[in-house]
Amino acid sequence: AQKITQTQPGMFVQEKEAVTLDCTYDTSDQSYGLFWYKQPSSGEMIFLIYQGSYDEQNATEGRYSLNFQKARKSANLVISASQLGDSAMYFCAMREGPGTASKLTFGTGTRLQVTL
Amino acid sequence: GAVVSQHPSWVICKSGTSVKIECRSLDFQATTMFWYRQFPKQSLMLMATSNEGSKATYEQGVEKDKFLINHASLTLSTLTVTSAHPEDSSFYICSVGPSGFYEQYFGPGTRLTVT
């Protein structure tokens, strides 16, 4: 079974609108972390937001928020007030187990295109 | 500023030759570094976990004799692609997960083209 599932290969959003990118995960660990990264055409991986499995509140970082629904095992990324510069690939990732010296497992990504 | 650097940023080599890619942790001591590979229009796939002072741990299906990893210091890990083939052409990215930080920091990546 896929550990991280991103069901939207591509999404379009108009500038200044909000968009939700879906991510579901599968793990039997109690302690895990969920990440969202942005990858522009240059290839660099830009960290956006993190949610720990024990965090009770949804994470927010500026225009990014993570809609964490633990029982449903979903960790959707919400981008508010989209900008043209938000056009990129977005990857959801999971780290299983406690500590940071653990590998990340990535989803297949969603390509977001912001239009005028 | 950059937390993790990679060198070179791109490289073209001929089939059968070897290529070395360096990953440096600039701000943290890293006992563990990770090497990922990304084919065009695909996701990142972990190749191996690089452990300072010991052997790397390879993911299933990754040939350890082909992708040699050396983690000789707390700030440097190298990936050597030996006897490169065109199918090894890919984007190679390293990451560092510093102790005490939840974030993993990624290098800018190295684009390898084997002709």
Give the pLDDT confidence of B24-71 residue by residue, as tens digits: 999 888 888 999 999 998 999 999 999 888 899 999 999 999 999 999
Locus of tokens 């942790």:
B25
Cα distance between residue A102 and residue B33, in whole Å: 9
Q: Do A43 and B111 touch (CB under 8 A)?
A: yes
Q: Residues of B with CB below 8 A from A45's CB?
A: 44, 93, 95, 106, 109
**Cα separation of A18 and A16, whole Å?**
7
| Nearest residue in B to A52, CA atom | B102
All residues of chain B having their beta carbon less than 8 Å from the beta carbon of residue A37 are 106
Shortest distance, CA A1 to any CA of chain B (angstroms) = 16
Question: Are the beta carbons of B58 and A10 closer than 8 angstroms?
Answer: no
Please judge whether B108 and A43 are an interchain contact, meaning their C-beta atoms are less than 8 angstroms apart: yes
- Given CB atoms, is A56 within the 8 Å cutoff of chain B? no
CB contact under 8 A, B104 and A50: no
The pLDDT value given to residue A1? 63
- The rounded distance, in Å, linking the Cα atoms of A97 and B49 is 16
- Cβ distance A25 to B91 under 8 Å? no
Q: Which of the two residues, B97 and A68, has the higher pLDDT score?
A: A68
List pLDDT tens digits, range A9-24: 999 999 999 999 999 9
Residue B99 pLDDT > 90, yes or no? no
